[in-house]
């Protein structure tokens, strides 16, 4: 076997062992050998390599056996590496760093008027935040295996180009290259915010483990991250899930995409706020500083039984329910999770949403689909992106950290 072939096989085996330790930990080398089909000598060599790379550690525990010496148990090393996920939205930059166990090491929510700042300034801010994170005591000394950036719009994932993000005012922005240029040597992924939010909900949200799941972003815009069988549904061009631009009311209110009557124009957060707070919403597109403050006012008025706010939320919830029914009819998810700013508004959105979904789904009882609020707040897409980077170590989509030369 030539050197290249040997190295390719070894890399595949390293990832196989890494996945197996994640699934079985704490586990012995013998258990890894049994699960992977590799011989014990090969597994011992691969484990030593992964320990040197900071991906696996010996726990100090032993597995008791009746005959022979007890085997030292293995687990993922949660002390050596980290992945960083970020989400750029109209009014904020959300940042999360996670370890190999997908546990959050640090989270930060940065107010940012991304629409006014523009793409290049946002890229600079992203790179600056990542550099700052790596100096935090929670991350200092860890290798950053990758950075993901979630954006509300159409993304060409292989190239990292934001093809269109109407709520940010971006077209054909090479965001991956812009960020990568400031973070030399660190892999960068750019993906749709709803897609990454769906991955977070699948791994750690209240509906974790639901293989057919949809995550609806609750921002100025509405996007859908769709999982079928635990895998993202991307479509032929990678742009599936743009439910916010599904026409719901012909001739209805104008949408940011230039069309009329889109779901986003009827039930997006900006549309809700303008209808719920006619005396407070400005006569211009909402700035980064507007959204969170106005959502808080809308919640306050709804809690106070203000009829205007309650009426607006009820109507928006019913439109969301129609969108959920469309999803039920097309992909039959087991759960739809409402994220972002839909979460604080959920007490008033959910009842009419669930009612409309039941009434307008072709399948009985909405095909078994439940509609729930997210518990991940505004960090869902960032958490999902960081998790995707960790997962990519095991699938081969990211290079393994450099370690000692194999024996």
Per-residue model confidence as pLDDT tens digits over 13-51 = 999 999 999 999 999 999 999 999 999 999 999 999 999
pLDDT band at 139 (very low <50, low <70, confident <90, very high): confident
pLDDT band at 56 (very low <50, low <70, confident <90, very high): very high
- Cβ neighbours around 349 below 10 Å, total: 27
% of the chain residues with pLDDT over 70? 95
pLDDT band at 404 (very low <50, low <70, confident <90, very high): very low
pLDDT band at 63 (very low <50, low <70, confident <90, very high): low
Of 328, 309, 362, give the one whose Cα is nearest residue 216.
328
Q: Evaluate whether 270 touches 220 at the Cβ level (below 8 Å).
A: yes
Q: Evaluate whether 343 touches 308 at the Cβ level (below 8 Å).
A: no
DSSP designation for 70? P
SS3 call for 181: coil
Per-residue model confidence as pLDDT tens digits over 79-100 = 999 999 999 988 889 999 999 9
SS percent in the chain: helix, strand, coil, step 5: 45, 20, 35
pLDDT at 406: 43
Per-residue model confidence as pLDDT tens digits over 104-132 = 999 998 888 888 899 999 999 999 999 98
SS3 call for 54: coil
For residue 199, list its beta bridge partners.
Answer: none
| Residue bearing tokens 């635990």 | 230
208: pLDDT strictly greater than 90: yes
Q: Evaluate whether 71 touches 28 at the Cβ level (below 8 Å).
A: yes
Q: Evaluate whether 375 touches 337 at the Cβ level (below 8 Å).
A: no
Q: Evaluate whether 50 touches 396 at the Cβ level (below 8 Å).
A: no
1: pLDDT strictly greater than 70: no
Q: Which residues of 227-236 are buried (b: 16+ CB within 10 A; e: fewer)?
A: beeeebbbee
Per-residue model confidence as pLDDT tens digits over 339-353 = 999 999 999 999 999
All domains of the chain in start order, with CATH = 3-76 (1.10.10.10), 81-197+382-395 (3.30.420.40), 210-375 (3.30.420.40)
pLDDT at 226: 97
Q: Is the peptide bond before 26 cis (omega within 30 degrees of 0)?
A: yes
67: pLDDT strictly greater than 80: no
Of 193, 237, 246, give the one whose Cα is nearest residue 215.
193
* Higher-scoring residue by pLDDT: 314, 286: 314
pLDDT at 405: 42
Mean pLDDT of 197-211: 94
113 phi, psi to nearest 5 deg: -85, 85
3: pLDDT strictly greater than 80: no
Q: Evaluate whether 353 touches 278 at the Cβ level (below 8 Å).
A: no
223's tokens: 């996007």
Per-residue model confidence as pLDDT tens digits over 376-395 = 988 999 999 999 999 999 99
pLDDT at 69: 56
- Cβ neighbours around 311 below 10 Å, total: 12
% of the chain residues with pLDDT over 90? 78
pLDDT at 288: 66
Mean pLDDT of 356-362: 97
Alpha-carbon span 320 to 346, nearest angstrom: 11
pLDDT at 254: 93
Write out the DSSP string of 85-123: EEEE-SSEEEEEEE-TT--EEEEEEEE--HHHH-HHHHH
For residue 71, list its beta bridge partners.
Answer: 63
287: pLDDT strictly greater than 80: no
Average pLDDT value for the chain: 92
Distance (Å) of CA 173 to CA 42, 116, 119, 161, 314: 46, 15, 7, 5, 37
Give the dihedral sign, CA 182/187/191/193.
negative
Mean pLDDT of 344-373: 97
> 180-184, 186-190, 240-244, 250-254: which has the minimum mean pLDDT?
180-184
């Amino acid at each position: 076997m030539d050197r290249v072939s040997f190295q390719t096989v070894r890399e595949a085996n390293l990832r196989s062992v890494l996945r197996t330790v994640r699934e079985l930990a704490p586990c012995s080398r013998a258990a890894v050998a049994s699960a992977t089909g590799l011989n014990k000598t090969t597994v011992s060599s691969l484990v030593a390599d992964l320990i040197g790379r900071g991906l696996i550690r010996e726990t100090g525990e032993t597995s008791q056996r009746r005959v022979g010496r007890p085997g030292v148990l293995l687990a993922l090393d949660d002390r050596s590496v980290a992945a960083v996920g970020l989400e750029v939205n109209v009014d904020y930059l959300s940042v999360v760093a996670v370890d190999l166990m997908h546990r959050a090491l640090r989270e930060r929510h940065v107010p940012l008027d991304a629409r006014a700042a523009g793409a290049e300034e946002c890229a600079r801010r992203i790179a600056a935040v990542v550099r700052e994170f790596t100096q935090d005591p929670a991350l200092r000394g860890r290798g950053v295996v990758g950075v993901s950036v979630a954006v509300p719009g159409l993304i060409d994932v292989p190239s990292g180009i934001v093809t269109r993000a109407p709520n940010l005012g971006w077209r054909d922005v090479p965001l991956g290259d812009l960020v990568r240029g400031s973070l030399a040597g660190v892999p960068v992924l750019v993906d749709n915010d709803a897609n990454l939010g769906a991955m977070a909900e699948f791994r750690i949200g209240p509906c974790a483990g639901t293989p057919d799941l949809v995550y609806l972003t609750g921002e100025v815009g509405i996007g859908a991250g769709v999982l079928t069988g635990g895998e993202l549904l991307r479509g032929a061009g990678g742009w599936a899930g743009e439910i916010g631009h599904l026409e719901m009311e012909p001739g209805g209110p104008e949408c940011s995409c230039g069309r009329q009557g889109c779901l986003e124009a009827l039930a997006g957060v900006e549309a809700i706020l303008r209808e719920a707070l006619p005396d407070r919403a400005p006569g211009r597109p909402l700035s980064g500083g507007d959204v969170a403050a106005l959502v808080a006012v809308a919640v306050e008025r709804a809690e106070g039984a203000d009829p205007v706010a309650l009426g607006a939320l009820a109507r928006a919830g019913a439109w969301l329910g129609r969108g959920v029914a469309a999803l039920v009819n097309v992909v039959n998810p087991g759960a739809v999770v409402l994220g972002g700013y839909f979460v604080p508004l959920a007490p008033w959105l959910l009842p009419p949403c669930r009612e409309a979904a039941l009434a307008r789904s072709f399948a009985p009882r909405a095909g078994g689909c439940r509609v729930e609020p997210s518990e991940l707040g505004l960090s869902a897409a960032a958490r999902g992106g960081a998790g995707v980077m960790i997962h990519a170590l095991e699938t081969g989509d990211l290079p393994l950290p450099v370690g000692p030369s194999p024996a």
